[in-house]
Amino acid sequence: QVQLQESGPGLVKPSETLSLTCAVSGDSISNGDWWSWVRQSPGKGLEWIGEIHLHGTTNYNPSLKSRVTMSLDKSENQISLRLMSVTAADTAVYYCARAGGYKMDGWGKGTTVSVSS
Amino acid sequence: DIQMTQSPSSLSASVGDRVTITCRASQTITNSLNWYQQKSGKAPKLLISAASSLQSGVPSRFSGSGSGTDFTLTISSLQPEDFATYSCQQSYSIPYTFGQGTKVEIK
């Protein structure tokens, strides 16, 4: 059974870059199709950030596209998220998920990121 | 973007009750609709994909129906472990979008 674990700094200063990593275990990321990032702001619903295919193709939410970069490292079996120029509105729990067949069927536990000076 | 609207936003029910949650899309999404369960402080869990396909390991008391713009998640007999927030998500077009969630609470 695939397991995902997000990691990264819990606190980021405004205008800086948020960088998160999602380590995948129990399966190779090369066996999946797409890998997604989703976030949830305090008390709010879920927001899809984007996805990356095992061959490197990406799709991003247009609302974040100018600030987002996703990548994957097959040798390390992990995916990464970078979000530039963060503001308080980017404070959220960030999840990575295995996505394939147009569904997200495996999720990490999430990592909380706060944006504050 | 396709807007997903759930109703109600919250409900109170008793163990054994039949519970129905509705999700409406702002445009047709055929059957490209997933349902997730999220317990407090936990990650979402996929329950149903493609509007009505129950995921492996999910109890049969959960069912989904609908197509086009209107969808329903039904819990036939609510169990204590079902108290959670349920969210729909369209996978028809990017950006994929979620409903605001329906919180199911104990009456």
pLDDT tens per residue, range A67-91: 999 999 999 999 999 999 999 999 9
pLDDT for A44 equals 87
Q: Locate the chain B residue with the closest alpha carbon to A63.
A: B95
Nearest to B91 among A44, A63, A103 (CB): A103
What is the token pair recorded at A53? 């295919």
Cβ–Cβ of A46/B44 closer than 8 Å? Answer: yes
Model confidence band, residue A31 (pLDDT cutoffs 50, 70, 90) = confident
Q: Tell me how many degrees the CA angle B72-B25-B107 measures, rounded to the nearest 5.
A: 40
Which residue, among A52, A110, A56, has the nearest Cα to B43 in the 3D structure?
Answer: A110
Nearest to B87 among A46, A105, A108 (CB): A46
Rounded-to-integer distance, Cα A78 and Cα A58, Å:
15
Phi and psi of A84, rounded to 5°?
-90, 160
Mean pLDDT (whole number) for B46-72: 98
Rounded-to-integer distance, Cα B105 and Cα B107, Å:
6
Cβ–Cβ of A104/B46 closer than 8 Å? Answer: yes
pLDDT for B88 equals 98
Q: Locate the chain B residue with the closest alpha carbon to A36.
A: B96
Nearest to B91 among A38, A46, A102 (CB): A102
| Chain B interface test: which of A40, A102, A111 (most B C-beta within 10 Å) | A102
Rounded-to-integer distance, Cα A114 and Cα A102, Å:
30
Of A29-33, A112-116, B101-105, the one with minimum mean pLDDT is A29-33
